[in-house]
Amino acid sequence: MEQKHAIAALAALAQDSRLAVFRLLVRSGPAGLPAGEIAQALGVQPATLSFHLSQLANAGLVESRRDGRSIIYSAEVAVMKELMGFLLHDCCDGHPELCGILETAPAPAACCPPSTSKGNRTS
């Protein structure tokens, strides 16, 4: 990832509503959510949400697709992974064992709890 792309992604996430949108979309998984459900879940006006989604899309953090009359948004997790890699690339000058952030990162089980029998994620 180039530095200018990292700055754009970080700038897009450096706002309360956009960070909340991105986190909601990460939780929704690859299926994503329609704009109306995002607005309702976060209590954001549709026009305001459209602005925030546009900012996230311009930074490459969300993608959209049409499904009938709805536009479905989903998080670009690969871009977030690339951003995290960019941020940690030079961690401790190539000695990750010295970098506390890597040791305190949540384990996959803490990050992704098992699904319930209904196929929904637990919270």
Tens digits of residue pLDDT in 83-111: 988 887 766 666 666 666 555 555 544 45
* pLDDT for 121: 42
List 67's β-bridge partners, or say none. 70
CATH of 3-93, one of 1.10.3720.10, 3.40.50.1000, 3.40.50.80, 1.10.10.10: 1.10.10.10
pLDDT at 48 over 50: yes
**Taking a C-beta distance cutoff of 8 angstroms, is the pair 112, 122 a contact?**
no
The residue with tokens 């700055």 is 7
Sequence ranges of the domains in the chain: 3-93
* pLDDT for 54: 95
Handedness of CA 41, 45, 50, 54 (dihedral sign): negative
